[in-house]
Structure 1
Amino acid sequence: MIPQVETSLSTLATLTCSKCGQKHDFEMQQRVSTCCAMPLLARYDGSAAISKKVLKNREGTMWRYQEVLPVLDEKFKVSLGEGFTPILELKSLALAYGFENLLLKDEGQNPTGSFKARGLSMAISKALELGAEGCIIPTAGNAGVAMAAYCAKANLPAVVVIPRHTPKAFKEECYWYGAQIHLIDGLIHDCAAEVRRLNQDGHLLDVSTLKEPYRLEGKKTMGYEIAEQLNWQLPDVILYPAGGGTGLIGIWKAFQEMIALGWLKKNVRLPRMVAVQAENCRPLVDTYLGLQANSQHYNGLPTIANGLAVPRPLGEPLMLQVLEQSGGTAISITDEEMVEGVREISKKEGLFVAPEGAAVWVAARKLLTQGWLKPQEQVLLLNTGSGQKYMENIEGRHGV
């Protein structure tokens, strides 16, 4: 379970099973819980209160929240300057569609061009701290690039298993970072099967989404930044492109931690969280709508939003919990609508976003039309990456 309000937090204290709460040792490498085979969640020691004032003169990266991050020794921090990405006003789009307060947090300005830099910076830092000999990952694109970059920085071997149809830019970048690359026919779950085959002896640390506890801790810093950048006031609604769902889960975890820290008031109204998926691969949407019991046997299709091509997300129970706790919803967007969204955001706001970022914009438009969103609400969109890497996916779709 994602924790509700607890005591104040400070340093990493334990890892707990997200399903049953059983504790696991954080001083050794961990993957999923040994009890339920579910994601492990980091918990922090509440014996010392932490004031927001400690942030005043800190670096403008995600590492400014060091007391609630899992790296215990500064010397193991592997950083390329990730985090503290800007929150931008989308005034032209807001005016065109009747939003009064429309914002976008642009994760494409991270190192390696996506929000994956946060999670992989943290995962590789902990891998180094815990003595890993190298790392391996199944990826739809951006996560593999980020892992390759941070492994290069840490001087750790990196193995990337990626769908053959992934745009060349992702594969080339992994190559230049020195990673060993394996191309697979299929989607990310097919890559995961190949990772298991390649790493049968466990000599590499598998940093698959939510199959180790620390990518989540990097991703949650988006939640801390949203609160700090908006002067400790939270938006009414946050729309997030949810493939594996680590960011959606992490942002919600951050809000709970900040309440526990006293950085947010206990009676604060938390945002309604919206999970946006691709129509070609919408396992969470189908489960949320009751069209299937769960996504364990879901079969998806490729989509121009590579990061949303995750047909069987391990974090589905946690994502559903976030939607339930926040009063949120789930919605899917077609590839054609994403192309339209990329074009519209580019022309009206001068931002070339990833198809995933375009998907959340189109979702916001639809939810406003349906009345689920109100014009006066503050709405925050998450663009998770730079559109530059997706050129192969969207070339020739310029439209009129």
Structure 2
Amino acid sequence: MNRSTSYVHDYLQNFRLPSQDGQTTLTAAKETQCDLLHIQDVECCRYIGEFWTARQRQASKLQEISYRACFKPQLPRFFITLLTEPDDIIYDPFAGRGTTPLEAALLGRLVISNDINPLSRILTEARLSPPAYEDIRARLYAIPDLNSVSSEMDLSMFYHPDTLRTLCSLRAYILEQEEKEKCDMTDRWIRMVATNRLSGHSPGFFSVYTLPPNQAVSPERQITINRDRSQTPPYRDVREIILKKTRSLLQGISERQKENLSKVAPSSLFLTKDARNTPEILDNTVSLTVTSPPFLDIVQYAADNWLRCWFNGLDAELVGKKISTTRKLTDWEGIMRDVFRELFRITRPGGYVAFEVGEVRNGSVRLDEHVIPLGISAGFSCTAVIINQQDFTKTANIWGVNNMSTGTNTNRIVLFYKDF
């Protein structure tokens, strides 16, 4: 299927988000606003409205894996359903927790997932091939000596001694299975869930109360938290926490989705590469890329994930050196310019790239306006800028930082097209 740019413009201009009862009316959502954006010598249509967020809680439970700086599943779903058909190839060069690859697989599209951080594959691959709950439970309780290994580093500020021994024993088992090339999808599922449950702020995590589960504080910071809260790490049942999260992730997967996952998973390609150089992907093969690149120096991915790296036998320092973090906008543009050249090579004629960026540095930098010339210089044409907005009735504050000071959640997506 080739969705023409004129079709896309008509669709966006006349789009109305269905209300919760599924009926599309003029009062069901705000009318889409349209204007023209002028960047250098380029004139691009801009559409501002609510395209997916009102029904945000209807995403698959499989998507509920905590990871910092990730977009909602409804974002890739919007573009996948609009611009592709089953068996088209969907790609994400900065896959993170795997939102785009998983959403593509649930919709019966073929998947290519890339992220230079190896944790991305660990968090994504297992969810494309979810084992049966009974198999996961049987495996967890069949692992021998799951309380026999002590930690080689001091993690007592996070975990009860018995919890830590179980975690270390599970870690040793998984790493041994991987070294012997015996790590099957049941083992990978257990590793994925355990990685996601390492630290958090509720009894559903292995750790004592700590900061939100999409990052790990330093041991020194955790000691301070424990002192300020007068807390000591309680015992957590590692097996049962993994099984509880498993039940939640597997809840509500439809038969069609199971069929799609079963069909797509064997052919899925997982890469751990620099997004500027992915020779494993053939020329002119990708129908749609949906991605969100690292935003300047806002998120320190390696520092956030040091505990997850430990559990998975990864060198957090080495991973951090491979991940590009730039403070200057010109440096960021230089990296993204090369990324777009690679995306142009692999995108098929008639294919699209949906490139999600945000307002960074308190809105003083609108990356969409910097991205447009980069895509055009690579050979793409700019189809549209889509700004998705959702107004909240209340704001959220984490660690004293108001993350929605205007009460509005905004995604900015630049949609590029490769001509025939």
What is the TM-score when the length of structure 2 is the normalising length? 0.30
Work out which of the two has the higher radius of gyration on C-alpha atoms and give 1 or 2.
2
What is the TM-score when the length of structure 1 is the normalising length? 0.31
